[in-house]
Amino acid sequence: MENFQRSVDQFQKDWLQLQEKHSSLVMSSYKLKEEEKGCVQSVKHCRTYMRLLKNEIESLHNNASGDEITFLEKVKLDILKKEYILRDIEDVLPRTAGLYLRIVLGALNISFANKEDKFRYKDDYERFKIIISGICAFLSFLLYFFIQNRIVDTIFHFLLVWYYCTLTIRERILIANGSRIKGWWNISHFISTACAGIMLIWPRSRSYDEFRDQFMLFSLNLNLVHFIQYQYQISCLHKLRTLGCRHPMDITVDGFMSWMFRRLTFILPFLIETYGFELYLAYNLYVISQQKYCHEWQVLAVALIYFALATGSIVTVLQVIRQKIRAPPPVVLHDHLTKKYSFALPMEKLNAADIFSGDNNGTMTTAATTQTVMT
């Protein structure tokens, strides 16, 4: 009985400790929410202020001369560096889900609290892409060479619909956590989702039978190119992150990005071949749609989608090459990405932000610049 009484007393002590820890956690959580709200408002205020300063610089630059122009250029460069720092700050702040995620997931906070969770989710996204691409390549190989069955075709089309839907959701979550998935490479997956959905409801007909083998061959080719891209991009990103030249949350994409520019001749031929294949499919589908036996609206719809995917990808690649030539000053990108790649604690990051603040004359100290590069 005495042993039991001691156990009860020990349990009561542990229970009181748990209640104290829980109360402390609740208070810390409440304080964190308040600090986050204040920081979000400060970020908005600073962005507005910098926008006004940039407009003022543009208006003053025309009438400035000599030392005034030098001062304005220094301020302009300092503002550009602070814009990169604001991106770092925003990466640790909660973000409101976009319209797409609000429709799919509701009003849910999809921002991860720390870097480890972000990197874990990013790595899971990469594994998801390569695993499903391998499954799709295997199925399209079987369907092209060995299996001619409409039921299996339907399963394959349903897999593509599920894959692209899941991909768009995951990418939106990654964007909310700092990944730079921009423009066409994000929109193209929504278009691919629509294409897969149309293929799923395309009824068995002569037009489907004529296009079916071409589609399976294209799917096999596309997923093999995705695998080549994945291996190539993962290798490039690993090297660039090690050098501090890329954002840690950058991911592989189904296309061409500026950081592939130095080895353009390796990846670009595969992409050109894929885009050419898409244009070929669009042309063949258009020819089929003009035949008297073709009464399915899906034929022309898929033709337009493939044409849009091919032309959009080609135009985007050309824009990326053009933007690469007109990139921001290397010192800005190097300082920002070197600091961004570090695993500094939030307080250390806030102290690092002071590195870019100028003195009363608008100049940056040499010691601060050296510290930035070393960290």
pLDDT tens per residue across span 153-182: 999 999 999 999 999 999 999 888 877 776
With beta carbons less than 8 A apart as the criterion, state whether 139 and 156 touch. yes
- The C-alpha atoms of residue 268 and residue 264 are separated, in whole angstroms, by 6
Give CA separation, 124 vs 38, 118, 235, 295, in Å.
32, 10, 17, 43
pLDDT tens per residue across span 131-149: 999 999 999 999 999 999 9
DSSP character at residue 203: P
Give CA separation, 15 vs 4, 9, 11, in Å.
16, 10, 6
The token pair that represents 27 in the structure block? 């208070």
pLDDT for the residue numbered 164: 97
CB burial of residue 358 (10 Å; 0-12, 13-18, 19+): middle
pLDDT tens per residue across span 266-310: 778 888 999 999 999 999 999 999 999 999 999 999 999 999 999
pLDDT interval class at 246 (50, 70, 90): very low
Question: Does 208 score more than 50 pLDDT?
Answer: yes
Q: What is the pTM of this model?
A: 0.76
Average pLDDT over residues 322-344: 56
pLDDT for the residue numbered 361: 40
pLDDT interval class at 256 (50, 70, 90): very low
pLDDT for the residue numbered 372: 32
Widest distance between CA atoms in the chain: 95
pLDDT tens per residue across span 71-99: 999 999 999 999 988 988 887 888 777 88
Residues 6+ apart with CB under 8 A from 145: none
pLDDT for the residue numbered 185: 84
| Average pLDDT value over all residues in the chain | 82
Q: Is 104 helix (H, G, I), strand (E, B) or coil?
A: helix
With beta carbons less than 8 A apart as the criterion, state whether 296 and 205 touch. yes
Element (H, E) at 109: none
Average pLDDT over residues 191-202: 97
pLDDT for the residue numbered 363: 37
pLDDT tens per residue across span 14-73: 999 999 999 999 999 999 889 989 999 999 999 999 999 999 999 998 888 888 899 999
> For the chain, percent helix, then strand, then coil, each to nearest 5?
80, 0, 20
Q: Give the residue among 301, 306, 256, 305 at the shortest CA–CA distance from 278.
A: 306
- The C-alpha atoms of residue 259 and residue 245 are separated, in whole angstroms, by 9
Average pLDDT over residues 306-318: 94
Can you list the pairs that 345-353 forms with residues at least 24 positions away whose Cβ atoms lie under 8 Å?
346/92, 349/88, 349/89, 349/92, 353/82, 353/85, 353/88, 353/89
Average pLDDT over residues 209-215: 97
With beta carbons less than 8 A apart as the criterion, state whether 223 and 204 touch. no
With beta carbons less than 8 A apart as the criterion, state whether 137 and 128 touch. no
pLDDT for the residue numbered 317: 86
Name the residue with higher pLDDT: 337 or 234.
234
pLDDT interval class at 111 (50, 70, 90): confident
Angle at CA of residue 366, ends 364 and 371, nearest 5°: 105
Q: Is 183 left (phi over 0), alpha (psi -120 to 50) or beta?
A: left
pLDDT for the residue numbered 265: 67
Q: Across 286-338, where does the E strand assignment appear? A: none
Give CA separation, 318 vs 25, 184, 246, in Å.
52, 12, 21
- The C-alpha atoms of residue 160 and residue 154 are separated, in whole angstroms, by 10
Average pLDDT over residues 91-117: 82
| Phi, psi values for residue 255, rounded to 5° | 180, -150
Query: What one-letter code names the amino acid at 351?
Result: N
pLDDT for the residue numbered 292: 94
- The C-alpha atoms of residue 240 and residue 228 are separated, in whole angstroms, by 18
With beta carbons less than 8 A apart as the criterion, state whether 275 and 313 touch. yes
Kindly report which listed range (147-151, 169-173, 192-196, 226-230) carries the lowest average pLDDT score.
226-230
Question: Does 264 score more than 90 pLDDT?
Answer: no
pLDDT for the residue numbered 95: 79
Hey, CA dihedral for 128, 254, 98, 50, is it positive or negative? positive
